[in-house]
A and B are shown apart, each in its own frame.
Chain A
Amino acid sequence: MSETAEQPSAAPIDASPALVIEAGRSEKNYWSDLWRYRELMGFLAWRDIKVRYKQAALGVAWALFQPLIQTALLTFVFGKLAKMPDGGLPYFLLVLSGNLAWQLFAGAFNGASGSLVGNSHLISKVYFPRMVVPLSAVAVSLVDFGVTFALAVPIIAAFGLWPGWQLILLPVFVGLTLLIAIGAGLWITALTVRFRDFRFITPFLVQIGLFVTPVGFRTDNLPNWRDLLALNPLSAAVDGMRWCLLGGRTEIYWPGMVTAVAVTLALVVSGVWYFRKTERQFADII
């Protein structure tokens, strides 16, 4: 063995830092590794989008139908049947703006939740920081959001409500929504690897979420319920996006916003913690 005389590569090998694999050793360079794999994140998102619309005759139109029909239904149920107060705004727009935020969350959360099990063939065959997978699923939902957003703005304008300067703050609330989805998604996707039960729980959670989040109604007319709703961080995200899209014609409930940010941070920190804790066993139990 030692006679492999010339060793042209001896220098680079000795120069590059050694990688040590040990039981229970959490990697020091996890986050820089994650950053190094950011292109993979992009590629996985790109794959999911590309594959979704291949062989679908209507293509991207599907990204629009579903939210539009849901918006129409919610408008009918909450606006016409339940006659919730509209505060002088077209009810359809209240729901549309709320639903835009909701769809972003639901897409990101659903995508992230199923992402690890959906990519189990990768998990069991290649190494990369596992967090790439749920994050790429979240990125996919952001693209969908871009499409629905591009459609929603002209509709709102057609009703004569021009968005104002508030629109600049939209990325803040988009960010908040995504963080909630990432926090919850990391929990669920890591749990699903071990307990497939969560595959059944996720759609159920999303279904409930639609009703405990002010998607089909506005909260500024429900003072009694506001504080309870504020425990759900999505309430603030939805309210915020509605405020941005409808040019500040609705109100933001600031105490609720503070609660939401705190809850979101807790969710993200704990989600990352649980994910990292269980990540090392994914390949063994997936």
Chain B
Amino acid sequence: MGLPAIEVSDLSKRYVIEHESRHDTLRDTLHHTARKLWRRFRWGTGFQREEFWALRDINFAVQPGEVLGIIGRNGAGKSTLLKILSRITEPTTGKITLRGRVASLLEVGTGFHPDLTGRENIYLNGAILGMRRAEIRRKFDEIVAFAEVEKFLDTPVKRYSSGMYVRLAFAVAAHLESEILIVDEVLAVGDAQFQQKCLSKIQDVASGNGRTVLLVSHNLATIRQLCGTSAYLREGRLKAILPTTEGLAAYLEDNQAGLGSFHPIHGDGVSLLDLQLRDIRHGKPTQTAIFGADYELRFTLGQGHPGLRITPWIRICDSSGVLVSSICGPEEGLDFQPAERTTTFVVSLPHIGLMPGRYNLSVQVYSLAPRPHLDAANALSIEIVPSNIGQAIRAYRAAHGLVRVCGNVHIEAASSAT
């Protein structure tokens, strides 16, 4: 057994976050700016500073030829780890030893320029990724063939379809000569067929050439297919490094942890006894919902004095407190019910249309009186994770808003073709 290809010991990374307070008047702003400027030049910082450890005491080693998957939720430190391994940013403490040439692919098409042609971008992108001109020339035909863009080589890439763009970008990166390949999320793009092609390319790279691969993906299926071992990161710490099947199990289990132990919330004569989001495929509760999949919301109300006529309201707010939508009993045709001691309500959420992000659900219970009998604010927090719709090449992200309002989007068949 030779030396490990990647050795990471006691790796930590600290970020310093600077807060600034808001100012409403010009005078305030000027005053503040002057002070800030003075402080900045003296101490090199703004006002409040807060430390944040993106990674803490990470230790692991990867053997040559091994494919290691890195899993964890958003903000667990996966990308930071890859950035440090790629030498983009430097660690705060710790040491990494890399044996072999490193190629890292943190984004597809880094440095592609929309105004340049496919041919020009192959050279530019190759050079940015660290290839020599001669190396690019040697591999040029192979890259073009892999990307399937022969006919468009002299077209500016801004006129490419997004599928072509991604194919070309991945093709360049896939032909980098290196012993260690670091890949982040890039497989989340491209059509299904091309994704499969990329996966097998990575598999080839690893098994055929004995190259070491480090892969971050939110797509657990990809990790399962490619990686023998997985490192599970949580809040900047390495929770476990396990064979992938066990690693994924630990990850999923951890995500569900804290569920099932709903603490009842009591109001004026009415209590919220249980509230959960369920994945209808297997009927299990979850706090992480896949965009576009089917879920249902179940909640159980309990009453002190049976017979009170009540109706529930659910308010869905985003993480900044903006009301996204409400589910109102009366409006949904659910009249004020003379409730039992416990009543369970089921709200179906087909093709959940909340955009990826975190949402808080509040439950209120009204009777005919104007004041709610129960006001359980932020009783449940759920996270919607991105997922592609059908064969779409990209998934909606938090930046796209709060709800998807559309159904199917298609091109109307032209009445007179060409």
Q: Is the CB of A125 within 8 A of B94?
A: no
- Is A81 on the interface with B (CB-CB < 8 A)? no
Q: Is the CB of A127 within 8 A of B127?
A: no
Q: Is the CB of B95 within 8 A of A21?
A: yes
Bound-state CA distance A128–B89 (Å) is 11
Q: Is the CB of B86 within 8 A of A20?
A: no
Q: Which of A6, A22, A51, A122 contacts B128 (CB 8 A)?
A: A122
Chain A residue total in the interface (Cβ 8 A): 45
Q: Is the CB of B90 within 8 A of A7?
A: no
Determine, out of A9-17, A174-182, A264-272, the stretch whose residues face the partner at the interface.
A9-17
Q: How near does chain B come to A17, taking the closest CB pair, in angstroms?
A: 8
- Is B97 on the interface with A (CB-CB < 8 A)? yes
Q: Is the CB of A126 within 8 A of B91?
A: no
Q: Is the CB of A7 within 8 A of B2?
A: yes
- Is A19 on the interface with B (CB-CB < 8 A)? yes
Bound-state CA distance A123–B88 (Å) is 7
Q: Which of A14, A18, A50, A121 contacts B116 (CB 8 A)?
A: A50
Q: Which of A4, A39, A40, A280 contacts B90 (CB 8 A)?
A: A280
Q: Which of B64, B113, B132 contacts A51 (CB 8 A)?
A: B113
Q: Which residues 61-113 in B have Cβ within 8 Å of A in the complex?
A: 63-66, 83-102, 104, 106-107, 110-111, 113
Bound-state CA distance A20–B91 (Å) is 12
- Is A31 on the interface with B (CB-CB < 8 A)? no
Max count, chain A CB within 10 A of own CB: residue among B44, B89, B102 = B89
Bound-state CA distance A284–B83 (Å) is 10
**Complex contacts, B1 vs chain A, CB 8 Å:** 2
Q: Is the CB of A124 within 8 A of B88?
A: yes
**Complex contacts, B87 vs chain A, CB 8 Å:** 21, 127
Q: Is the CB of A1 within 8 A of B229?
A: yes
Q: Is the CB of B65 within 8 A of A21?
A: no
Q: Is the CB of B110 within 8 A of A126?
A: yes
Do A126 and B2 form a contact, CB below 8 Å, given A1-B63, A43-B127? no
**Complex contacts, B100 vs chain A, CB 8 Å:** 9, 12-13, 16
The binding surface of chain B is classed by DSSP as loop
Bound-state CA distance A37–B89 (Å) is 18
Q: Which residues 13-49 in A have Cβ within 8 Å of B in the complex?
A: 13-14, 16, 18-24, 37, 39-40, 43-44, 46-47
Q: How near does chain B come to A244, taking the closest CB pair, in angstroms?
A: 34
- Is A55 on the interface with B (CB-CB < 8 A)? yes
Bound-state CA distance A54–B129 (Å) is 24
Across the two chains, which residue of chain B brings its CB closest to A11? B2
Q: Is the CB of B210 within 8 A of A7?
A: yes
Q: Is the CB of A16 within 8 A of B106?
A: no
Q: Is the CB of B63 within 8 A of A121?
A: no
Q: Is the CB of A13 within 8 A of B2?
A: yes
**Complex contacts, B95 vs chain A, CB 8 Å:** 20-22
Do A7 and B124 form a contact, CB below 8 Å, given A13-B2, A126-B86? no
Q: How near does chain B come to A10, taking the closest CB pair, in angstroms?
A: 5
- Is B146 on the interface with A (CB-CB < 8 A)? no
Q: Is the CB of B66 within 8 A of A55?
A: no
- Is A63 on the interface with B (CB-CB < 8 A)? no
Q: Is the CB of A14 within 8 A of B129?
A: no
Q: How near does chain A come to B346, taking the closest CB pair, in angstroms?
A: 46
- Is B365 on the interface with A (CB-CB < 8 A)? no
- Is B318 on the interface with A (CB-CB < 8 A)? no
Q: Is the CB of B101 within 8 A of A16?
A: yes
**Complex contacts, B107 vs chain A, CB 8 Å:** 125
Q: Is the CB of B110 within 8 A of A121?
A: yes
Q: Is the CB of A21 within 8 A of B90?
A: yes
Q: How near does chain B come to A44, taking the closest CB pair, in angstroms?
A: 8
Bound-state CA distance A61–B129 (Å) is 33
Q: Is the CB of B99 within 8 A of A16?
A: yes
- Is A88 on the interface with B (CB-CB < 8 A)? no
Across the two chains, which residue of chain B brings its CB closest to A14? B2
- Is B179 on the interface with A (CB-CB < 8 A)? yes
Bound-state CA distance A9–B211 (Å) is 7
**Complex contacts, A12 vs chain B, CB 8 Å:** 100, 179
Q: Is the CB of B113 within 8 A of A121?
A: no
- Is B5 on the interface with A (CB-CB < 8 A)? yes
Q: Is the CB of A47 within 8 A of B88?
A: no
**Complex contacts, A39 vs chain B, CB 8 Å:** 127, 132-133
Do A43 and B63 form a contact, CB below 8 Å, given A19-B97, A23-B94? no
- Is A195 on the interface with B (CB-CB < 8 A)? yes
Q: How near does chain A come to B159, taking the closest CB pair, in angstroms?
A: 13
Q: Which of B44, B111, B210 contacts A9 (CB 8 A)?
A: B210
- Is A223 on the interface with B (CB-CB < 8 A)? no
Across the two chains, which residue of chain A brings its CB closest to B102? A19
Q: How near does chain B come to A234, taking the closest CB pair, in angstroms?
A: 26
Do A127 and B86 form a contact, CB below 8 Å, given A1-B66, A20-B96, A122-B111? yes
Q: How near does chain A come to B175, taking the closest CB pair, in angstroms?
A: 16
Q: Which 4 A-B pairs have the closest CB atoms?
A: A9-B210, A127-B87, A21-B96, A43-B127
For the complex with contacts A16-B179, A50-B115, 18 further pairs of A-B residues with Cβ separation under 8 Å are A4-B63, A4-B66, A6-B210, A10-B64, A10-B210, A18-B99, A20-B96, A23-B92, A23-B93, A44-B124, A47-B120, A122-B128, A125-B88, A126-B104, A126-B110, A281-B90, A284-B15, A284-B89
User: What is the interface of chain A, defined by CB distance below 8 A to chain B?
Assistant: 1-2, 4, 6-10, 12-14, 16, 18-24, 37, 39-40, 43-44, 46-47, 50-51, 54-55, 121-128, 194-195, 197, 280-281, 283-284
User: What is the interface of chain B, defined by CB distance below 8 A to chain A?
Assistant: 1-3, 5, 15, 37, 40, 44, 63-66, 83-102, 104, 106-107, 110-111, 113, 115-116, 120, 123-124, 127-130, 132-133, 156, 179, 209-211, 228-229
Question: Could you show 13 A-B contacts with beta carbons less than 8 Å apart?
Answer: A1-B63, A4-B64, A4-B210, A7-B65, A10-B2, A10-B210, A13-B3, A19-B98, A21-B87, A24-B90, A54-B115, A122-B111, A125-B88
